[in-house]
Structure 1
């Protein structure tokens, strides 16, 4: 199987490295392109046999699966460059959440999917969220999910939930890391513990908590109940957290959805001429 990657930015390069490191793909099975060719070539230099192409069409030709790892406002230009070379049996996968399957179905005659990856895929963990177009057959879905399974747990979702599942799976690591960083910073400031030591303890705690939730069969409420003895230290601190964070995550979700809708309007305007903000 040959796989193309158009766009070698943060997420494109992460996927390439994870697939190679996990043994899912050999470098010789991968072709890449990037708006700045030197960046693609630099990545190819790291993995002997990986092929950097000067054009997006060159990276797509002869590939069974093509990942489009580009920003929303670059998408229409990239799709236009691919129209002449994409074949009906190829699978084109967008990893850009505001680009809808319907946008691509009107442009490319092939098998179409959308996958929302996560930074956790770099360590072969977390989910890959899979959304499929009408042209994807079960064998196509199996081929893509077999590849993704080397670095993640592929989960099929409805496209209408793209933004919220992206918040939880793809943005979530940044949100949780931010909270953990605040916890560590406070520990250092309030007690004088070394930052490296505090971070090591907190990171091990986060890993263990994740295992309790995934492998231990506990819910978040179960973890809180088992740790917080009524009237104890943890219980008192949890009451503080509940008061101080009330509504914060509702605001967070509203913020990500507002930005998503803004990007979606711009992408729709590029693809099908829909009005943006009524203009």
Structure 2
């Protein structure tokens, strides 16, 4: 670790979340973490809040760091890769958190067979409750890979998958917080229309989400078995489930997830 320096190109919310978790948990020394963002105020804000080092260009960061997180939006990848191409060497490990951008396309754009790790985190990283899916190319050193896994683990849990699954997994953990928030919004609005204020319904519903997640993880029951345990014939839960089934709830979720995957594939072209 003494010889490693970590850098982030892009100082947005995900970068801030990762750095916050890493520094808070003392997973990696703050004075060995660098950041560059085209917006000076963002990199200076991260410097002030986390004690990391801000640099004035993406190329300076790549020259300095052995592990470089590529934390810009997919649409910004081509110009960013063009900018850093002259200074990327085989010894640099690149960590991409961009949706849809394959490791082979990164290597091709840089004209360098550098090691690449792809990661799909989600926004609950900001609370240390993230869920990150990770894969790597064959030339990533084990020591480096385990360090990157440790960095993400300091912000939540990590699952290792194959790169062929990276686009599809976005719908599972990357984008799925938005589906849950939409579901919560609908529940809260319906509750309010029925006379229950958000100050009451929000904590009740959030605790129900937490408890239900724990049941899924720890009960040993399948989702279908858990549904049956909540449902009584002719009861209130069945009345609600009947409406969801008639409105093709499961098929709608499947269509939404497939649309998410398709968009990831488009972004990678």
Matched, 1:147 2:151: yes
Match of 1:8 in 2: 11
SS of residue paired to 2:213: helix
> What TM-score, normalized to structure 2?
0.90
CA contact (8 A) 1:22 1:150 kept: yes
CA distance in 2, matches of 1:257, 1:237: 29
- After superposition, the C-alpha distances for 1:172-209 in whole angstroms (9 at most, x for unaligned) are 1111121012111101111x122111101100110111
CA contact (8 A) 1:91 1:113 kept: yes
Matched, 1:102 2:104: yes
SS of residue paired to 2:219: coil
CA distance in 2, matches of 1:39, 1:144: 23
Q: Where does structure 2 lack aligned partners over 5 or more consecutive residues? A: none
Measured after TM superposition, the shift of residue 236 of structure 1 is 1.8
SS of residue paired to 1:84: helix
Q: Where does structure 1 lack aligned partners over 5 or more consecutive residues? A: 266-279
Match of 1:227 in 2: 230
Tell me how many residue pairs correspond in the alignment: 263
CA distance in 1, matches of 2:172, 2:95: 21
CA contact (8 A) 2:170 2:260 kept: no
Matched, 1:133 2:137: yes
Matched, 1:171 2:187: no
Measured after TM superposition, the shift of residue 95 of structure 1 is 0.4
> What TM-score, normalized to structure 1?
0.87
SS of residue paired to 2:99: coil
Measured after TM superposition, the shift of residue 74 of structure 1 is 1.6
Match of 2:74 in 1: 72
CA contact (8 A) 1:86 1:109 kept: no
Mapping for residues 199-210 of structure 1, pairs under 5 Å: 199-210=202-213
Match of 2:30 in 1: 27
SS of residue paired to 1:83: helix
Measured after TM superposition, the shift of residue 137 of structure 1 is 3.2
SS of residue paired to 1:92: strand
Residues 115 and 256 of structure 1: CA distance in aligned 2, closer, same or farther (over 3 Å): same
Match of 1:43 in 2: 46
Moved more, 170-179 or 18-27: 18-27
Residues 246 and 62 of structure 1: CA distance in aligned 2, closer, same or farther (over 3 Å): closer
Mapping for residues 190-269 of structure 1, pairs under 5 Å: 190=194, 192-244=195-247, 245-265=249-269
Match of 1:271 in 2: none
Measured after TM superposition, the shift of residue 130 of structure 1 is 1.0
Measured after TM superposition, the shift of residue 89 of structure 1 is 2.8
CA RMSD of aligned residues (A): 1.8
CA contact (8 A) 2:27 2:154 kept: yes
